[in-house]
Amino acid sequence: AGMEGSGDASRAVADWRLAVWTLCSVLLPVLITAWCSFQRSRRQLLIRDIFRKSKHDWHYTDLFGQPSYCCVCAQHILRGAFCGCCGLRVSERCLKKADQRFLCKEIMMRGTAGAPSSMPHHWIRGNVPLCSCCMVCKQQCGTQPKLCDYRCVWCQYTVHDECMVDSLRTEDCTFGEFKDLIIPPYYLSAINQMRKEKRTNFEKVVPYCRKHWMPVMVLANTRSGNNMGEILLGEFKMLLNPVQVFDLSKIAPAKALQLCTWLPCNAVRVLVCGGDGTVGWVLDAIDEMKIKGQERYIPQVAVLPLGTGNDLSNTLGWGAGYAGEVPVEQILRNVMEADGIKLDRWKVQVTNKGYYNLRKPKVFTMNNYFSIGPDALMALNFHAHREKTPSLFSSRIINKAVYFFYGTKDCLVQECKDLNKKVELELDGERIELPNLEGIIVLNIGYWGGGCRLWEGMGDEPYPLARHDDGLLEVVGVHGSFHCAQIQVKLANPVRLGQAHTVRLILKSSKMPMQVDGEPWAQGPCTVTITHKTHALMLYHSGEQTDDDDASSLSE
């Protein structure tokens, strides 16, 4: 009996040991995971706090796209942070030290006596571009697998470690290739001081007095394109003064453009990174400057197309879409070399039938085109779909595929048929007899529908050339979605209804889809009047051609 009792006790002890070890084997991984998660969350909070308080434009990354070395410990890093303005790269554990030790680009010089007209280089060690050459010996920099060589964050010049001498550390920075586009920090300091003293003789400040200075402002819409706006913001901040680069998701164009009042009259160039809607938003803000009496500060506008249609940028020679294929440096060169032209802007007034004295008419500003019919219906369906599931519409290819789907659907359903029986059209006060149509399009620019030259059609008939600066609108009709598709591949001509300074369209009955510059809505009986509003100062890039030959480009 005693042996049985001791056997039961030993079995009980063994069972307890098994239970304890089982519990430990279950709890230990859970505790380790919880501890690691707590430490990671704590680390992320600390990093976020450093980012919030820092003067650097830090961005965290789990994996650097090229071999990178920490500017503090000089060790190779995979995970860490980089500054979007000065290009510093640092490992996660050295982030706090780097933030305290290294200065970022100063957008404005502080604490300087008098009005300086120069500033020294701002050298950053390591991680220089692989294609760069030393400004002293002209040999390639950044070839060794370690933290080596220097780069100036302003002029982008690079120097080998062994070529760096004390004279280079104190030498005045020339701002490099883009000196005519960069707003120097010492200039902003001087202008700020003069404004405080209520002095306006800015022309005495360098480089205000320099003949070829044409400071550029970059206004990027980070919601246009597939995250391309975010990438461009960082790249432009690296090359320019960060004060010149604006994110339109955080600051309105009207506020950003007030920087023009600190700069020489009629010299500023604005690069808008976004779709045609973003360009229209910026041009509206420029019109507000005219109303405020700031007409002498009006900038010229260039376009970097990030949207889906981009017909305005195509018309101005900037291409149908940007996906990173052209280096940012070349884009800035194109802005410097671009020619100034004018763009007509039009007032579109929509007055609902029966409410002439009770309801205010809707007023739009048109840069590209107005339409009623199948293409407006496609835009309306597209926008309704995008409102429901915006995450699906991050790619230009997907957007065009959805447009194709709705165009194919309309070919079968023909929701806009017999339009000629529902509307009346007047060009410069003269009534136009309409043939059997499904749609009417009023054009200000040469391109329509994502790259089609609608007015020219197949180019086999002699018609007056379409221009965007002659105060004339081109009015065409289409027989349906299938006819639109034929025109886009140059298998058919549009129904040319005429050119006019003023267009009046009366929708007599039923509800029809309409659009102005890609913004669609469903409209009941009304009168639409289109009249000239103003001119916009744009920049034309002659080096970019699409699918048309040189002869057709001359029509612009």
pLDDT per residue as tens digits for the range 189-198: 888 888 888 8
How far is it, in rounded angstroms, from Cα 115 to Cα 131? 36
Confidence (pLDDT) at 404 = 54
How far is it, in rounded angstroms, from Cα 482 to Cα 497? 19
Q: Identify each DSSP E strand in 257-375 by its residue range.
A: 269-274, 300-305, 339-352, 362-366, 369-372
pTM given for the model: 0.85
Confidence (pLDDT) at 556 = 39
- Segments of the chain scoring below 50 in pLDDT: 406-407, 410-413, 544-556
User: For residue 352, what are the β-bridge partners?
Assistant: 526
How far is it, in rounded angstroms, from Cα 155 to Cα 38? 43
The pair phi, psi for residue 262, each rounded to 5°, is -95, 0
What residues contact residue 276 under an 8 Å CB cut-off, 6+ apart? 307, 309, 310, 311, 312, 313, 367, 368, 517, 518
Confidence (pLDDT) at 414 = 57
**What separation, in Å, do the N-terminal and C-terminal C-alpha atoms of the chain show?**
111
User: For residue 355, what are the β-bridge partners?
Assistant: none
Token digits of residue 361: 């008419």
Q: Running DSSP on this structure, what letter comes out for residue 242?
A: G
Residue 109, class by beta-carbon neighbours within 10 Å (0-12 exposed, 13-18 middle, 19+ buried)? middle
Token digits of residue 56: 């650097």
Confidence (pLDDT) at 226 = 66
Confidence (pLDDT) at 548 = 44
Confidence (pLDDT) at 56 = 92
Q: Treating both helix axes as pointing N-terminal to C-terminal, what angle do 228-239 and 328-337 enclose, rounded to 10 degrees?
A: 70
How many Å separate Cα 152 from the centre of its chain?
A: 26
Confidence (pLDDT) at 355 = 56
- For the chain, domains (ranges, CATH) are 47-105 (3.30.60.20), 214-337 (3.40.50.10330), 345-535 (2.60.200.40)
Q: Treating both helix axes as pointing N-terminal to C-terminal, what angle do 396-413 and 374-388 enclose, rounded to 10 degrees?
A: 130
Buried b (16+ CB within 10 A) or exposed e, 422-452: bbebbbeeeebebeebbbbbbbbbbbbbbbb
How far is it, in rounded angstroms, from Cα 208 to Cα 267? 10
Residue with tokens 């889809």: 513
Please, where are the H alpha helices in 155-246? 166-170, 185-196, 228-239
Confidence (pLDDT) at 546 = 44
Q: In this structure, which amino acid lies at residue 155?
A: C
Q: What percent of the chain has pLDDT over 90?
A: 45
